[in-house]
Amino acid sequence: MNIDSIKNGYVIDHIKPGKSLEIYEYLNLGNLDTQVAIIKNAKSKKTGKKDIIKIDELLDINIDILGYLDPNITINKIQNDKIVEKFHPQLPERLINIVKCKNPRCITSIEQNLPQICELTDRKNAIYRCKYCEEKVQKPE
């Protein structure tokens, strides 16, 4: 399989196999007017298989979403055919309008315009809780 290289854009690498479509949806990449390639089940020396997303444009990517979904991925920023930045996203301290509180008694279920804010309460176990009702937020598996 041959996928063109990227002159300017991002390569999101080392995604757990089968998780690239979830990241694609969370980042709203389907709304872009640029080329986006999803490579599923690519060979990986470290894990056997991995997914990769290539975005052929430099744009604002919500790193918090990537850190929340999988802090083990690698983000490569490419400019003029060269990797200029390579990093792993960190678990964000706060998620704003990324996940919704499932507690039916939470104020966010009544006040529709209230931002959905979840705060990291246990970094070791990646546990987030709703800022308003302290309900534990389930992370997608």
What CATH number corresponds to the domain at position 54?
3.30.70.140
Measured between alpha carbons, how far is residue 17 from residues 44, 48, 80, 81 in Å? Answer: 10, 9, 29, 26
Does residue 80 share a domain with residue 26?
A: yes
pLDDT per position as a tens digit, 39-91:
999 998 888 999 999 999 999 888 889 999 988 899 999 999 999 999 999 99
Query: Pairing state of beta strands 94-96 and 117-122?
Result: antiparallel
| Whether residue 3 has pLDDT greater than 80 | no
Element (H, E) at 1: none
Q: How many domains does the chain have?
A: 2
Same-domain status, 110 and 133: yes
pTM of the predicted protein model: 0.84
What is the average pLDDT across 97-118? 92
8-36 tens-digit pLDDT: 999 999 999 999 999 999 999 999 899 99
Question: Whole domain around residue 44: which residue ranges?
Answer: 9-87
**Of the candidates 11, 4, 25, which has an alpha carbon nearest to the alpha carbon of residue 58?**
11
CATH number of the domain enclosing 119: 2.30.30.20
Same domain, 13 and 81: yes
Structural tokens at position 34: 């640029």
